[in-house]
Amino acid sequence: MLLHKNYARAGTHRSAMELIALILEAVKNNSATLYPLMKYTSTNYAQLKKYLELLIGIGFIEACVEDDKVLYGVSGRGLAFLRQYNALRDILLSAYYQNKPVDIAEEKYNQSDVQQDVATDLAAPVIKR
């Protein structure tokens, strides 16, 4: 699962939610036409058009015509979704990195710490049954 912010690279596999968030992020500050959106999201015309229709239908994006160009902008509802999506993504990333297994071969130990740990283990009483 791709969850970090630089997931707009061509050739990556993205979920529908990631692509929706990316489109909303692209029009968050300024309205945009289709071509800049296609470039920003690394999508083709058909895929972007499908998502834009969906987002307009659920009220996340608003379209307006200006100088014979269709401009797409984010709505208040779209901004609310984007805030919640980013918060959830940050929580998931945080949990992932906190629970990521540690590769012992990559850890560097201070030799005196290792010697102290061994000495402590050897000094511990041995219990026989």
- Domain coordinates of the chain in residue numbers? 1-101
Q: What mean pLDDT is predicted for residues 3-20?
A: 66
Angle between helices 34-41 and 16-26 (to 10 degrees): 130
* Domain at 1-101, CATH from 1.10.10.10, 3.30.9.10, 3.40.50.720, 2.160.10.10: 1.10.10.10
Q: Which of 37-46, 70-79, 101-110 has the lowest mean pLDDT?
A: 101-110
pLDDT at 100: 74
**With bands split at pLDDT 50, 70 and 90, how would you rate the model's confidence at 13?**
confident
Q: What is the per-residue burial (b if ≥16 Cβ within 10 Å, else e) of 116-126?
A: eeeeeeeeeee
**With bands split at pLDDT 50, 70 and 90, how would you rate the model's confidence at 19?**
very high
Higher local confidence (pLDDT), 113 or 84: 84
| pLDDT(46) > 80 | yes
Q: What mean pLDDT is predicted for residues 41-66?
A: 95
Return phi, psi of residue 103, to 5°: -85, 110
81's tokens: 């979704």
**With bands split at pLDDT 50, 70 and 90, how would you rate the model's confidence at 5?**
very low
pLDDT at 59: 96
| pLDDT(3) > 50 | no
